[in-house]
Structure 1
Amino acid sequence: MTSTENSPASHDSAPVAHPMSAVLSMTLCVSMLIASEFMPVSLLTPMAEGLGATAGQTGQAISVSGLFAVAASLLTATVAGRIDRKIVLLTMTTLMLISLVMIALAPNFAVLMSARALLGITIGGFWSLATAVLMRLVPPAKVPQALAIMYTGQALAAAFAAPIGSYLGGLIGWRGVFWVLVPLVVINLVWQFAALPALPARNRLTFANLLGVLLRPYFLRALGAIIFTWGSAFTMFTYLRPFLETVTGVGVTTLSILLLVLGCAGFIGTWLAGKLAGDHVIRLLITPPLIMGAVTLGLLVSGHSLVVVAVLLAIWGAMNTAVSIIWMAWLSQNVDDAPEAAGSLMVAAIQASILLGALIGGVLLDAFGIGATFIGSILMAIAAMLFVGSGRSLLKR
């Protein structure tokens, strides 16, 4: 891979006519992806009942999307070859639309899993290209701010999708919730078509390019930190509803309020990460696993107190949105010569960790109870902190 391939310094010669509209169209796509991917968290119990499955089994619907996201993140940039990246992104959004319709119509657990697999392809394909595309839409100095704007979509989904999904699920059923998402994705598809400029592929990405980035020692260590950071988060988050129902003893209304608190705190995390990541990214890398692991421990110790749980979930929510911005800012600074390759590998690692987190958490839940699931999350957070260390070993050489 040449030094100019996908480099932030090698922007297209023609400036993007409306970069903010293009960035905002990707922001809405992020919001729809997050809502679609993690809606089963807020609807886990009714979905399990409606499909005749256990809560642990239904949690695997998140796992299967992660499995296919891993494959898609590694294959999208390579298989897509020289296809215009705008066309690739539009294709990913179309697949998300099809997946949502399939979930809403799913007559059984097998169809649900198939639809989630299709969604996984969208997740892996979009995220593997997202940072590299942003680096072509805006000047290098604006990348952290553009990332913060795009990840505002994550904060929006985290703030409103879960509580609204939980509330609407009680009114119109879990299938109705997924039908509500369908027209929003249609709007997003039209907006992307109008706002995104042509993004011709540059030199074709090969598996040799991926291997070259993967074998960089600092990048390989970063992947270890990423896997355990996200694995810790989603071992806990996937099974948050069962914890709140059985330990804290909340009903649907209170559950929705708690999820809203968690999500709204994400706006604070997004703002802080966008403001600080540009100059302090290395110092920030250890913060998410440290704080999120401590929150999970706090929930185990004080989960019976509604007030304490609300405060802890707010802190967790802030870190949940900040972590993505922190790591993608790290990518833009330390793998800026190969953002598509790095993005593909990082998204694969993230999705693999989400898959394993949901899988391990589900097994622990069904076998030993929710306490074991949360302990598993804490152990992963400790492992993530060990990989990050002081952060110096994660700097490019």
Structure 2
Amino acid sequence: MRGTVTDTGPGESSGAVPAPPEPVRSSWAAVFSLAVGVFGLLTAEYLPASLLTPMASDLGVSEAMAGQAVTVTAVAAMLSGLLTASLTRKLDRRFVLLGFTALLIVSNLLVATATTMTVLMLMRILLGIALGGFWSMAAAVAMRLVPAALVPRAVSVIFSGIAVATIVAVPLGSYLGDLAGWRSTFLAAAGLGVLTLVFQFFALPTMKPRNTARLGTLWEVLRRPGFGLGIAGMLLVHIGHYALFTYIRPALESVVQVDTGKLTLVLFVFGVANFAGTLAAGRLLEYSLRLTLALTPALMGLAALGVALFPAGQIGYVALVILWGLAFGGVSVAWSNWATRMVPDQAESAGGLVVVGVQSAIAGGAAAGGVLFGVGGVLTVFTVSGAVLLASALLIAWRVAAPRRGVGG
């Protein structure tokens, strides 16, 4: 029967870690309610990007200062991702998740009525707490909603909320902001949160706490055989991606030579490809976790080097950008699945470490991309990042443990 994690293949850790009992039947309504929750959280996180100018003007601050609303959210998400498992270990997971959705609502409501930048920042910290905590728990909760064989598919559905938010949040926020003002946009986000809370209230089952995590558990998890090396591989993948993604617009304008009229369309298609990749990764993970972990950065690296080094023509360049979006769609799904399979007995702590790694990589990738851009322009960014992505794919294929759920014993 299922219930252990068996490590196979080169570079993988030995032994078996007991996994918690899996559910007998699937609760897909609960899975979809979590996907809606992820969509609401990521939409709220991205909104300042499309509303920066009117927010800054209304609050009497510079756009640079208004942009720090994104920074404080990311920092709070990192801390929340680290601390959620230990601070909520005695609480029903259903109530914890509902609490995070309630924080989303409160944050958006109070941002919409904020009269000073200080109040707005404090409310964005609430959003960060909800975002980091929800994300760190997502894969672990999926393990309690569907049988083990369907966990990769369930996680891909949950994380599809990220891809959908990437597609619609910025253009929709910009449209609503122009139509009714930036405050009304955050009120609409709060309304979405209310609908999400109702959906989750009826869809999520009771999930009694079975977590023994404490702060020291994070260090214990990092010391598990193969886990630290895997996190290093994950960091390389995300740093490579976010160095690229930060400069996607200059690349489209200068290399692909997409004019302003087509720029939005190409970015939209990139987002759609990202969404499709998220769902496809769920199926691929059911076949092979190792293949998914290594293939996604390999395809992203080839796409980046293709844009930088080969005369592909505009159609060819756009195809490479779409390939990049498709491949990155599988990254979050794959690494969240990897973390829970590596440490099934402390899945929430493992998820928190993944959240911290990703948030750190966003900052590190953007900073590294800025240095490379200053040195040699967008072609240098894509060349070096492409090489980093290919190197990470090799590291993952050869050295990173890729456990699978055993069917015997």
TM class by shorter-chain length? 0.7 to 0.9
Aligned pair in 2 of structure 1 residues 53, 41: CA closer, same or farther (>3 Å)?
A: closer
Query: 349-358 vs 169-178, which deviates more?
Result: 169-178
Looking at structure 2, the residues matched to 208 and 110 of structure 1 have their Cα atoms a distance apart, in angstroms, of 33
Structure 1 residues 280, 302: CA separation in 2 closer, same or farther (over 3 Å shift)? same
Q: 1:61 to 1:105 in 2, by over 3 A?
A: same
Distance 1:363 1:392 in 2: 29
Does the CA contact (< 8 Å) of 1:235 and 1:357 recur in 2? yes
Change (3 A) 1:165 1:7: farther
Matched, 1:22 2:30: yes
Task: State the distance in 1 between where 2:114 and 2:339 align.
Answer: 38
Q: Which residue of structure 1 lines up, in the alignment, with residue 230 of structure 2?
A: 222
CA distance in 2, matches of 1:322, 1:48: 35
Corresponding residue for residue 155 of structure 2: 147
Q: How many residues are paired up?
A: 387
Is 2:132 aligned against 1:124?
Answer: yes
- CA offset at residue 249 of structure 1? 6.2
Q: Is the 8 A contact 2:302 2:390 kept in 1?
A: no
CA contact (8 A) 1:86 1:196 kept: yes
Q: Is 1:394 the counterpart of 2:401 in the alignment?
A: yes
Whole-Å Cα distance in 2 between the matches of residues 90 and 379 of structure 1?
Answer: 42
Q: What are the residue-to-residue correspondences of 1:33-48 with 2, within 5 Å?
A: 33-41=41-49
Give CA deviations for 1:264-315 in whole Å, capped at 9, x if unaligned. 1123212321111122110221222233234344555689976455433322
Question: 1:349 is matched with which residue: 357, 371, 377?
Answer: 357
**How much identity, in percent, do the aligned residues show?**
37
2:17 is equivalent to residue 10 of structure 1 = no
Task: State the shift of 1:104 in Å.
Answer: 4.0
Shift in CA distance, 38/349, structure 1 to aligned 2, threshold 3 Å: same
Partner SS, residue 285 of structure 1: helix
Amino acid at match of 2:139: T
**Partner of residue 53, structure 1:** 63
* Aligned equivalents of 1:345, 1:258: Cα separation in 2: 33
- Assess if the C-alpha contact under 8 Å between 1:8 and 1:139 holds in 2: no
TM-superposed CA distance for 1:375, in Å, is: 6.2
Q: Quick one: which amino acid aligns to residue 32 of structure 1?
A: G
Contact 2:340 2:350 in 1 (8 A): no
Amino acid at match of 2:168: F
**SS of 2:63 mapped into structure 1:** coil
Q: How does 1:355-366 map to 2 (within 5 A)?
A: 355-361=363-369
More helix by share: 1
Which ranges of structure 1 fall in alignment gaps of 5 or more residues?
none
Moved more, 338-347 or 289-298: 289-298
Q: Output the TM-score relative to the length of structure 1.
A: 0.82
In 2, the alpha carbon distance for the partners of 1:369 and 1:100 equals: 38
* Gap regions ≥5 residues in structure 2: 6-16, 405-409
What do residues 345-381 of structure 1 show as CA deviations (whole Å, max 9, x unaligned)? 2222122222333455567779987667656744653
Distance of aligned partners of 1:261 and 1:92 in 2 relative to their CA distance in 1, 3 Å threshold: same
1:258 alignment partner, one of 243, 248, 266: 266
- Give the direction of change, closer, same or farther, for the CA distance of 1:158–1:359 in structure 2 (3 Å limit): same
Q: Secondary structure at the match of 1:145?
A: helix
2:298 match: 290
Normalised by the length of structure 2, the TM-score is 0.80
Query: What RMSD over aligned residues (CA atoms) do the two structures have, in Å?
Result: 3.6
Q: Max radius of gyration: which structure? A: 2
